[in-house]
Amino acid sequence: MGNALRLENVTMQFGGVVSVNNLSLEVPEKKIIALIGPNGAGKTTAFNCITGVYQPTNGLIEFMGKPIVRNHPTGKAAKSYKGQNEDKYKNEAVLSPTPDEITGMGIARTFQNIRLWKSMTVFENVLIAKHQHAKQTVFSAVFRGNLAEEKRMRDETMALLEEQGLDIYKDELAVSLPYGLQRRLEIARALATKPKLLLLDEPAAGMNPQETIELADFVRQIRKKYDLTVFLIEHHMDLVMNISDYIYVIDFGSEIARGIPEEVQNNKHVIEAYLGVAEEAENE
């Protein structure tokens, strides 16, 4: 099976700061892959490059074997560029889709700090994610020429909520749900866009150990049920070691290790990055 997602020499530089440095990784189809690293390592920036929130300074991103994002430093960015491989994509067209185009291709995401629509109910939150696939125009929407489509959208939303066990909260405001359920709702909303690849940005942030275990099962279930590929960022080592098939570790924007959970767990660089170097500890 091929790769759902492939990053090649992706560099993201903000002014003089390189947040993601020459990152290359592969996310094979139907697997659960994790990206870990200490705070400020550039994990979320990497996600934002994949989802079109940022345009990477240099590099190529492929989805299902097709290039979706490609850039090389030009002008002012080229002068201050600190990364590598700046000539590699020079002769190829720049691709910079907007986040909604990326979502349309089949990549859905959740956010580190939950971003649900505050004034809307649980049901509406999921229903809006169906809007992009609707074929209606403004006129057919206003004059209600699309009742069948509207009904189908509502039915699909209801089915999804039932599957996620959120149907009893359907008329409540999304923000009034307990924290764990808000996370779950955000995942349900991402699923409503019918993704092939699901990006989870710290799904276990702020959860207790019990909730984390449940989340691991939940992620496995939806992976199987919707035939997804899952790519996640996480801090909870329990969760990462428990569910990932393969792990990439980055620190200061660069990759420091990769491998299956056991390998990464015992990797010297990873331990150093997370716990600090032994000498430093002695000096203190």
Binding site residues, other proteins, CB under 8 A:
51, 53, 98-100, 103-104, 108-109, 111, 115-120, 124, 127-134, 136, 138, 141-144, 146, 150, 153, 189-190, 192-193
Q: How far apart are CA 56 and CA 58, in angstroms?
A: 5
Strands (E), the chain: 3-14, 17-28, 32-36, 58-63, 66-71, 107-109, 197-201, 229-233, 246-251, 254-259
Least Å from the CB of residue 241 to other proteins = 28
- CB-wise, 153 or 207, nearer to other proteins? 153
- CB-wise, 14 or 274, nearer to other proteins? 14
Pairing assessment for the beta strands 3-14 and 17-28 based on DSSP bridges: antiparallel
3-class state of residue 191 by DSSP:
helix
Least Å from the CB of residue 268 to other proteins = 37
- CB-wise, 192 or 215, nearer to other proteins? 192
- CB-wise, 96 or 266, nearer to other proteins? 96
- CB-wise, 90 or 131, nearer to other proteins? 131
125 contacts 185 by C-beta, under 8 angstroms: yes
22 contacts 9 by C-beta, under 8 angstroms: yes
Q: How far apart are CA 61 and CA 199, in angstroms?
A: 14
Least Å from the CB of residue 127 to other proteins = 7
Least Å from the CB of residue 16 to other proteins = 25
Question: What's the token pair of residue 21?
Answer: 């440095």
Comparing CA positions, the residue from 192, 186, 105 lying closest to residue 152 is 192
What are the residues facing 18 on neighbouring strands? 13
Pairing assessment for the beta strands 246-251 and 254-259 based on DSSP bridges: antiparallel
Least Å from the CB of residue 182 to other proteins = 12
Least Å from the CB of residue 110 to other proteins = 9
- CB-wise, 194 or 220, nearer to other proteins? 194
Least Å from the CB of residue 80 to other proteins = 25
- CB-wise, 93 or 138, nearer to other proteins? 138
In angstroms, the first-to-last Cα distance of the chain is 50
